[in-house]
């Protein structure tokens, strides 16, 4: 978490430092990203950086947290922009969220690349990154599950905590399943912010996942 002195800066200066940090961590892995490069471009003394953040890790995790907040805001903005206000059931809502999350990734390629670098490498902060991402998305998904139970979309005896864990774990691991299924080089996902995805293939995976969640894995003839 940044120190109070960072938030005392003007919004313009905070955003400049943040944007430069995003560019640095998107262009280099965690170990090779340079605080010196960031402060040089921001035209601030290196000592000033340590008045704003404890260290490189503190800055990096701040960017991860910011990405989570922006993703949630993006989802809510997309919902408000919808012409149709018709409510979706649990499974249609979850499917919609998967699709919107991909749109966020396409609209924010550098933030996505930072997460990809953590996911597809031996980053020393990898575990903490995904713990923070899960923590950020836990409440929205838990709320969705509880509404699904209340509305009769999900079984009344379903454990909301277990269902939330399952969905978050599945969503996290899609970042590994999708590249494998669509034969995407994960190294390319870390090296370039401009990756062309087979969106039809991604959508098919999302549809299949929702089908499994909604209908289960048991044989219909059992």
At residue 219, the pLDDT reads 77
DSSP 3-state assignment of 150? Answer: helix
CA distance 110 to 104: 11
Domain range summary for the chain, segments of one domain joined by +: 61-215
CA distance 24 to 207: 35
Place of tokens 């890790």: 57
Q: Compute and round to an integer the Cα radius of gyration of the chain.
A: 20
Sorted by sequence, the CB contacts under 8 Å of residue 46 that are 6+ apart come out as: 35, 36, 39
At residue 221, the pLDDT reads 59
Tokens linked to 152: 């009769």
DSSP 3-state assignment of 121? Answer: coil
Nearest in space to 109 (alpha carbons), one of 175, 177, 22: 22
Fold entry, domain 61-215: Tetracycline Repressor; domain 2 (1.10.357)
Q: How confident is the chain (222 residues) per 10-residue block, as mean pLDDT? A: 93 95 92 94 93 95 92 91 81 95 90 88 88 92 97 96 96 92 84 75 96 88 55
Nearest in space to 46 (alpha carbons), one of 62, 35, 30: 35
Q: Return phi, psi of residue 96, to 5°.
A: -60, -40
Task: Look up the pTM and report it.
Answer: 0.87
Sorted by sequence, the CB contacts under 8 Å of residue 213 that are 6+ apart come out as: 91, 94, 167
CA distance 75 to 144: 13
């Amino acid at each position: 978490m940044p120190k109070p002195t960072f938030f005392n800066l003007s919004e313009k200066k905070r955003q400049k430092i943040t944007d430069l940090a995003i560019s640095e961590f998107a262009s280099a892995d965690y170990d090779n990203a340079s605080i010196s490069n960031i402060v040089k471009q921001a035209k601030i003394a290196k000592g000033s950086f340590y008045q704003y953040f404890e260290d490189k890790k503190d800055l990096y995790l701040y960017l991860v947290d910011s990405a989570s907040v922006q993703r949630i805001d993006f989802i809510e903005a997309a919902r408000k922009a919808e012409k149709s206000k018709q409510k979706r059931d649990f499974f249609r809502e979850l499917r919609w969220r998967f699709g919107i999350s991909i749109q966020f990734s396409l609209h924010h390629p550098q933030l996505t690349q930072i997460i990809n670098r953590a996911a597809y490498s031996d980053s020393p902060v990898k575990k903490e990154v995904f713990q923070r991402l899960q923590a950020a998305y836990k409440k929205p998904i838990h709320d969705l599950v509880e509404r699904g139970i209340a509305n009769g979309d999900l079984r009344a005896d379903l454990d909301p905590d277990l269902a939330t864990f399952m969905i978050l774990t599945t969503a996290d691991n899609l970042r590994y399943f999708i590249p494998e299924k669509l034969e995407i080089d994960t190294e390319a996902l870390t090296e370039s912010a401009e990756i062309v995805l087979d969106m039809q293939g991604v959508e098919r995976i999302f549809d299949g996942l929702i089908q499994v969640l909604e209908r289960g894995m048991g044989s219909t003839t059992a």
